[in-house]
């Protein structure tokens, strides 16, 4: 694989992502890859100085720009990468009404769980029901109250 195609530059967090291994490497001296201008394509990186995406913190993911999130999503489908601007919520204000979530895009039920949690309605208390994806829109609902 051509090394320039192997890495994604994530400028918002100051690192490169190796699309093959899933490891991130710090950007040094404005080079095109973690290995400088002449990387060894057989080398999988210096793992002593790298962090795998599975081990990156929530703060790291929250620091990603929309462009970097899109770049990562082009190659990986992670549970924790979503664009909150695409979330729309309809609330039924009756005591035992429900809340309907609409996400403009295809996500997993686990991603819906996280979005609902971030909205302040923990699925373990308010439930998460009727998750579905139709015509590129993900939707689900939960209860308006947890009593």
Helices (H), the chain: 3-6, 58-62, 66-73, 109-119, 123-126
> Is the residue at 105 inside a domain?
yes
- Tokens representing residue 107 in the block: 């996500």
CA dist., res. 59 & res. 62, Å (int) = 5
| Residue at which a domain ends, from 73, 98, 133 | 73
The more confident residue out of 97 and 133 is 133
Instruction: Give the 3-state secondary structure of residue 125.
Output: helix
Domain of residue 46 covers 3-73
CA dist., res. 139 & res. 110, Å (int) = 12
User: Structure pTM?
Assistant: 0.46
In tens, the pLDDT along 78-123 reads 544 556 778 888 887 666 678 899 998 888 888 888 888 888 888 8
| Residue at which a domain ends, from 73, 95, 111 | 73
> Is the residue at 78 inside a domain?
no
């Amino acid at each position: 694989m051509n090394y320039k195609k192997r890495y994604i530059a994530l400028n918002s967090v100051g690192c490169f992502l190796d699309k093959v291994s899933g490891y991130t490497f710090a950007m040094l001296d404005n080079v095109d890859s973690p290995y400088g201008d002449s990387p060894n394509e057989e080398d999988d990186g210096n793992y002593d100085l790298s962090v795998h995406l599975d081990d990156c913190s929530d703060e790291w993911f929250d620091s990603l720009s929309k462009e970097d999130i899109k770049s990562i999503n082009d190659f990986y489908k992670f549970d924790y990468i979503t664009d909150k601007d695409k979330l729309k919520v309809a609330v039924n204000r009756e005591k035992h009404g429900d809340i309907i979530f609409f996400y403009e895009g295809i996500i997993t039920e686990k991603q819906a769980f996280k979005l609902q949690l971030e909205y302040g309605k923990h699925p373990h208390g308010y439930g998460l029901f009727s998750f579905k994806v139709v015509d590129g829109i993900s939707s689900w609902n939960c209860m308006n109250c947890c009593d």
